[in-house]
Amino acid sequence: MTAASPAQPAFSICVYCGSRPGTQAAHAQTARAVGRWIGERGGQLVYGGGRSGLMGQVADAALAAGARVVGVIPQSLVDREHAHRSCTELHVVQTMHERKRLMAERADAFLALPGGIGTMEEFFEAWTWRQLGYHDKPVGLLNQDGYYDALLQFMRDGVRGGFMDEEQMRFVATGSQWQPLLEELIHRTGFPAPMRLGAV
């Protein structure tokens, strides 16, 4: 584990995203913009500890912008996801359960960017924990370019089918634009609104 910096971040946000880059260049651009936004506003990024795919993009951009970056990665994925050794803190844990627990503890809010089954599994667990009352932290889903359209439709079908309700849906903030969604999540934490530093 890398030694922690004594600086206290203005806020801490956990970002879930793909360990692959995906086929759309816009998704990587957004990951970098999110990381930069967090760093420029004195925040802390908590994420899965990898340096490949969108995970690496968001972490590299956050570090370059001065953010504290907390990476949490299971030992079994250190080689597969190429652990990011430049994190402010890099925690190598034994299980996915430990990973998700530590990420949740270190974050004030959660945001899912485009990703695969790992991203969706982490997002759904954070949402489930929220509706069960295990935490009261805001959860967001970035539906960039309609990436999560089908998933959102499935969730609405769950409401219509009687397996979910509108209160559960209200626990998740969704949007197609990353900056307003990030600002909403930070607002929901009760932290002061991060200072606007101009268009990104």
Encode the chain (200 residues) as per-residue pLDDT tens digits. 444 444 689 999 999 999 999 999 999 999 999 999 999 999 999 999 999 999 999 999 999 999 999 999 999 988 777 899 999 999 999 999 999 999 999 999 999 999 999 999 999 999 999 999 999 999 999 999 999 999 999 999 999 999 999 999 999 999 999 999 999 999 999 876 555 444 33
The answer, as to whether pTM is greater than 0.75, is yes
Q: How confident is the model at residue 6, as a pLDDT?
A: 46
Q: Which residues contact 118 (CB under 8 A, 6 or more apart)?
A: 16, 18, 19, 48
- Burial tier of 152 (Cβ tally within 10 Å: 0-12, 13-18, 19+): middle
Q: How confident is the model at residue 1, as a pLDDT?
A: 45
Q: How confident is the model at residue 20, as a pLDDT?
A: 95
Q: How confident is the model at residue 197, as a pLDDT?
A: 43
d(CA 57, CA 130) in angstroms, rounded, equals 27
Q: How confident is the model at residue 116, as a pLDDT?
A: 96
d(CA 54, CA 38) in angstroms, rounded, equals 15
For residue 12, give the nearest of 111, 101, 82 by alpha carbon. Answer: 111
Domain 12-187, CATH: 3.40.50.450
Quick one: which H or E segment has residue 103? Answer: helix 96-106
Q: How confident is the model at residue 100, as a pLDDT?
A: 95
For residue 181, give the nearest of 103, 110, 107, 123 by alpha carbon. Answer: 110
Distance from the first to the final alpha carbon of the chain = 32
